[in-house]
Structure formats: C-alpha cells, structure tokens
Amino acid sequence: MPLDFDSARLPNPHITGEHEAWRTQLRRFIDTEIMPHADAWDEAGHVPAELWPKAAAVGLLGLGYPEAYGGTQEGIDSWHSWIAQEELARIGAGGIPASLMVHGIGLPPVLNWGSEAMKQAVAPAVLAGQKHIALGITEPGGGSDVASLATTAVRDGDHYVVNGSKTYITGGMRANWVSTAVRTGGPGARGISMLLIPTDAEGFSRTPLARKQGWWASDTATLYFDNVRVPAEQLIGGENQGFLVIMTNFNGERMGMAAGMEALARVCLEEAVTWAQQRRTFGKRLADHQVIRHKIAQMKQKINATQAYIRICFEAIEAGNPNPGDIALLKVQASETLEFCAREAMQILGGIGFMRGSRVERIYREVRVNAIGGGSEEIMRDLAARQYGV
C-alpha cells in the first residue's frame, strides 16, 4: 500500500461506518468546492462569501451544535470533529479553514454561557453561513497573558461603555459579532468579563491585517472600541466571570488545532513520498537513497505518536474527563511534529517545494501561526506544569 494521507492514518477502533460516510461526504465537498480554488484564494487573500452557505448545507458549519439553532448534535462525537479537521487540512492552505470555521471559537461562549435570547439572535444565522462571529481576546499589548488584558467595559446604567482594541483577530473583518474579553473589574483574571459586541455599533471600527507570513486567505483584523455602548444583556456569563468562559473555550480550540496540525504533517508526508518516488538523482529514485527513506520513516514515527496522543485526549473528552494539561502538551506535540515534517518535506522536494503554489510551501509558511495561535508552545508547557501541580 502506498504511503499517503489516508494510509498513514493509524487504525482507530472508534471509527464506524457512519464516521466514514461523513468523511466521504465532506471530502467530496472539499474536493469540489475548495481544492480547485485554494491556491487562487490564498494568493488573492480572500475567501468568497458564498462558501459559507455551501459549507452549512453540507453539515460542516453546524457539526456538533444543537439542532434547536440549526446544528447537528444528535449522534455527533469527537471522531466526527477529528475527521472534519483532517479533511480541512488536506486543502493545504490554512487561511481558508481558519476563516471558514472561526465560529468554532467565537460561538461556543454564546451557546455555553449566553442568554436564550442571545443564542436565538446569533446562532441560527451563523450556523446557516448567513452571518459571522469572531473571538476577540488578543490585544496589541499582550497575547497569551489573558489575565492582563486592558480593554475596559465600564457600566453606565443599562449599558457597558467599551474602550480599547484587539488584534490578530481571525474573522474580524467579516464578523457581525465579536465575543469580546473586557475588563469590568480590578486587575487580574477576576476582573474579566465577556461581552457580545455587534460590529455595527457606533464607535466600533476595524482594519485588515493582510501582510502575513501565512494564512493569506484568512480574514485577520485589528478591532477598535471607542466609547462603544453595549447593552448589559449582551454580557456572556456573569460579570467578572469571563476568565472561566475563556478557559473553557480553549480546550476545544487546542484539540481542533492539534488534529489539524497532525493532518497537515500527513499532507507533508504524502507530498514528500510522492516526489521521492518520482524524482531521480544519481541514476536512481530519491526514495532509493537511504537518507531520504530515513527522513520519511522519522516523519511517520512522529505522526504516529501524535495521532495516538490525539486519540487518548479525545477518549478522555468522550468520557467526560478532559485533562487541560495533557491537551496543552498535545498542542505542543502537534506543532513540533508539524514543524519537523514541513522541514523534512521541503528538504525532500528541494527547489520545487520552494515555489509558490504547492501545499508544502504553504504549510511551511504556516508552521509558526499554528505553534503560536491558541496558546504558544512556551505558555502551553507552563500551563501544563501548573495543572500537574508543579
């Protein structure tokens, strides 16, 4: 059996025929509606608006969300989500799924902590691909240190008045709402709240961040709040309880990123193997050189270990007992695996891998955003050590 994206996947006893049917359906959609356009969209720095309703129609946007708001939750488990991350990674242009699926970090705070009126106003339109929501946490003065955020929301009667800014916000230019972390109390984590802020509010503005190393197709923005008045009923969760909302959101984000990074590493493996079997140097295939075979074997070794780790963490989630420390270190494991495989694939492809338009070239540029986004490797290690009581 040739070593490719699918054959490099370890057996998983949790995967049923229903899961494989979901993979087939999703792959058909991606191969038809996204893959032929991925390079052009990446170069243009833009994903067309019509992709969202199409993704909603195939069941991608609503996967795992309550039926009451237009999602599909009955019978959906972690393995469906893992498959979705894998298939989106096959595109090899990370900015496309980053923009398409950003509601995966923007919407859960609303559904898990918001009022019923808030859920009804936001979720159906987002899951139908008609409107968009983003998550606003990172600020110009701080990234992973969420507890030190400086954007303020001061209570004024039945409104909060918001001042400050957010940056590196995926989906920020397209968003109709932003689930926004604000400071309503004193310093530290205990003074943070979450507000759902509509982007048509007076005093709200945004600028695009288009000159990026990777994720060119991603809609990334800096957001500005200048005395933005937000009704108090737009509070997500309790006042000064926002840090809990943020932390419960991170496990899902990190699991999704880890699954995606492992699959991106498999894309690199597939591309490297295909080229090594075709390219001839010194009178024989690249794959016949021992040094190249060892590179491929080591890529597979690291991919195997990461897949096994992902499965263990998803099993814990399915059992209702996720370990934040293990999940944090899984994200590190996945980003290190991706970085290694992207480098080795570039070495094997040589000059052709250096040229724009290939999946490996795009993935190589996107290693750092994966290693930093959702919590940097350094922050993840420290978080894990504290979770383990060190």
Residues catalogued as catalytic: 253
Contact criterion met (CB below 8 Å) for 300 and 327? no
Burial class (CB in 10 A: 0-12, 13-18, 19+), 35: middle
The amino acid at residue 83 is I
Torsion sign over Cα 25, 29, 30, 32:
positive
Q: Return d(Cα 173, Cα 249) in angstroms, integer.
A: 22
For the beta carbon of residue 227, count every other beta carbon within 10 angstroms: 12
* Closest alpha carbon to 137 in 168, 96, 114: 168
Q: Return d(Cα 270, Cα 5) in angstroms, integer.
A: 6
**SS3 at position 283:** coil
Cα 365-366-372 angle, rounded to 5 deg: 125
Angle, nearest 10°, between helix axes 324-349 and 290-318? 160
* Closest alpha carbon to 374 in 250, 265, 247: 250
* Residue 178 per-residue DSSP state: E
How far, in whole angstroms, is CA 108 from its chain's centroid? 13
